[in-house]
Amino acid sequence: MPSAALGIGDASVVIAQEILMPTSARWLFPDEAEPFAILERARPWLEPHFVNERGHLLQSIHTYVVRTRDLLVVIDTGVGNDKDRSGGNLEGWHMRSGPFLEELRAAGADPEWVDVVVNTHMHGDHVGWNARLVDGRWVPTFPRARYLFVRPEWEHWQREAERTEAVRRLVDDSLQPVVDAGRAEVVPADLRISDELWLEPSHGHSPGHVNVRLSSRGVDAVFVGDALHSPIQCAVPDVRPTFDRPESATQARATRGAILEQCAGSGMLMLGAHFTPPAAGRVRREGEAFRFEAAL
């Protein structure tokens, strides 16, 4: 079932979950000699939402449904059904047939009603439900929505599709159908969507990665996509996570640090694309690093 609605001023946020996946600290921190020591230090504030009794980090693939005064917005669209994701090492992504659309409707976002779709970046677990298979054709899942494609991100994946078969499949089944239907808008990384909602550049994890900022009646929140994959990274912001490419790790580290400093200094809510519900929380300083306190 979708999460309970979180109020942010006049806006509300609901999580529609597609996949819940336990992972390990060793997997998340491939360069670390003692990843479980990090886990034990952070465990008191990771429990009970972000780590289980066996010491597995809990992560999620989900969509944020954001309702503002005048817009219904979805942020990131998960893996999707019927997608050829063969050749990878991620279980459960290839040719899925899950009930995500029912979850989305239960969260208050019938696809026909959605005004705006934001992809924080274009990895396969963030764009999959951009399009769905209907009578053998890929068509936009959200038929009347504006899909916001951040220019440097879209241009990067177009180039990659010419070189890599797996990327070409992703572009063909989750991005190009939106373009062909005339629903995509190629936009700058600092686009203001409305008075309450805007994009902020957070490049590093991918070339055109963006945060989504929400501000309503004096309450501020930031959707950080994959700038952080798990709250445990608050404890070790300088450590490279497994999905940050080594060649872009320096930029990703700087972006992550800036987000944590901003959140800790301002008290704004932080919401991660892979943080399990309740997913939203506040960043607090803890020594030379940070901790994450879930907002319940």
Quote the pLDDT of residue 1.
73
- Residue 166 pLDDT: 93
Q: What is the pLDDT of residues 93-138, one digit of tens each?
A: 999 999 999 999 999 999 999 999 999 999 999 999 999 999 999 9
Section 71-88 average pLDDT: 94
Q: How confident is the model at residue 2 (pLDDT cuts 50, 70, 90)?
A: confident
CA distances for 55 relative to 35, 43, 79, 206, 293, angstroms: 12, 9, 26, 29, 18
Q: What is the largest CA-CA distance in the chain?
A: 56
Confidence of residue 54 (pLDDT cuts 50, 70, 90): very high
pLDDT at 4: 84
Predicted local confidence at residue 92, as pLDDT: 84
Check residue 89 and give its pLDDT: 67
pLDDT at position 90 over 80:
no
pTM of the entire predicted model: 0.97
pLDDT digits (tens, 9 = 90+) for 183-238: 999 999 999 999 999 999 999 999 999 999 999 999 999 999 999 999 999 999 99
| Share above pLDDT 70 across residues of the chain, in percent, rounded to a whole number | 99
- In the chain, what are the domains? 6-294 (3.60.15.10)
pLDDT digits (tens, 9 = 90+) for 132-181: 999 999 999 999 999 999 999 999 999 999 999 999 999 999 999 999 99
Tell me what pLDDT residue 296 has.
Answer: 73
